[in-house]
Amino acid sequence: MLSVVAVDDEALALRRLEIAISQMADAELIGKARSGRDGMELIRRLKPDVVLLDIQMSGFGGFDLLDSLEPEELPLVIFVTAFESFAARAFEVSAVDYVLKPVEFERLSAALARARRNLQLASSEQRARELRDVVAHLRGHNDAGAERDETFAREFWAQRRGDFVRVPVEHLDWIEAERDYVRLHARGQAYILRATLANMASRLDPALFVRIRRSALIRADRIEAVRKPNYGDYRVVLTSGQELRVGKTYLKSVRDLIATTAAQRG
């Protein structure tokens, strides 16, 4: 039985991994963590065969976790993230593997099968060397791709009618806070995600999204117009025709982002 720990700061992503592994007869999820630091402690305590690791976590991320472990503490690593195809070449001759989000059951099963074989074939020292090589390649890839904003989220897994649904960031129109949750509005559909609005704002490109009031974020290129129907009352009109109230203190930020977006288009 292959023992597995999963580390990802997205609760829905962790839940998806948990469901997938629960359907595998030869693998067991023995622990999960929502941060790199918690994942590091979990690995040291449980000593799993494999860690499913998201690199792009806020704060203490996947690379930080790996840097903090001694070679003898390192399990086999399967990165669970969104790499572009050319970055995947780093894994071709390595015991390290990766699966793309959204995780597909068959791909995860294949990655775990590969991990099982490599546990038997490669020494811990060899696996540590290969991991260092892969991490160095990926770090260089991330640095080279910084201008492409790869540090920002590309998608979210949210609930709609009881199902977990992938919502690409490019489909988002606006986001509103609802107590301990946020509601994502995308292409005429609404989705629920357990997160704060502040957390969502930190994961979205500030060059694309702007806060229009304390409880709402909006994508700038979805704004058709800014209206002032009454004194002190400001509204943004979306390309969908929907109108949203703008807090007076946020009006300048909205206008500045619209101007920047228009200049970039021009």
Per-residue HEC secondary structure of 172-200 comes to EEEEEEECCEEEEEECCEEEEECCCHHHH
Phi, psi of 240 (to 5 degrees): -80, -10
- The pTM of the full predicted model, rounded to 2 decimals, is 0.51
How close are the terminal C-alpha atoms of the chain, in Å?
A: 58
* Coil, strand or helix at 162: coil
Give me the mean pLDDT over the 175-200 stretch.
Answer: 90
In order, the DSSP letters of 29-91 are: EEEEESSHHHHHHHHHHH--SEEEE-S--SSS-HHHHHHHS-GGG--EEEEEE---GGGGGGG
> Does residue 229 or residue 16 have the better pLDDT?
16
Above 80 in pLDDT, residue 29? Answer: yes
Reported as a pLDDT band with limits 50, 70 and 90, residue 260 is low
**Structural domain boundaries of the chain?**
2-148, 155-265
Same fold, 2-148 and 155-265: no
The CATH class that applies to domain 2-148 reads: alpha beta
Instruction: Name the percent of the chain lying above pLDDT 70.
Output: 79
pLDDT in tens, 73-100: 888 889 887 654 435 544 544 556 788 7
In CATH terms, the superfamily for domain 155-265 is LytTr DNA-binding domain (2.40.50.1020)
> Does residue 168 or residue 251 have the better pLDDT?
168
- Supply the mean pLDDT for the chain: 81
**Residue 266: its pLDDT value, please?**
55
**Residue 147: its pLDDT value, please?**
42
